[in-house]
């Protein structure tokens, strides 16, 4: 399991204009979101973007979920 955010995603002004991408790739994380919104599975996304690992996708989804939960908690405690 990946626990280091830098192994999951990165943003570099020299890679796709600074877009958030899966680390070590040029695949924007927005591509995953677009696939999921379209009803595709993670497996389909991984087939379309083989340079991204399943571990990266799962870690990204975990980090995103944690961020949402934390934002909700902060909003309710204000």
Rounded distance, CA 30 to CA 28, Å?
5
Q: How high is the pLDDT of residue 53?
A: 96
Rounded distance, CA 51 to CA 74, Å?
35
Cβ pair 61, 33 in contact under 8 A: no
Give domain limits for the chain. 5-77
CATH of domain 5-77: 1.10.10.10
Phi and psi (nearest 5°) for 9? Answer: -145, 160
Least confident of 13-17, 32-36, 59-63, 71-75: 71-75
Indicate the helix (H) or strand (E) that contains 2.
none
pTM of the shown model: 0.86
| DSSP 8-state assignment for residue 28 | B
**pLDDT tens digits for 19-42?**
999 999 999 999 999 999 999 999
């Amino acid at each position: 399991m990946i626990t280091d955010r830098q192994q999951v995603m990165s943003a570099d002004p020299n890679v796709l204009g600074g877009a958030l991408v899966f680390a070590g790739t040029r695949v924007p994380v927005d591509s995953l979101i677009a696939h999921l919104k379209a009803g595709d599975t993670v497996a389909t996304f991984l087939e379309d973007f083989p340079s991204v690992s399943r571990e990266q996708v799962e870690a990204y989804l975990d980090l995103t979920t944690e961020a949402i939960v934390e934002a909700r908690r902060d909003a309710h405690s204000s």
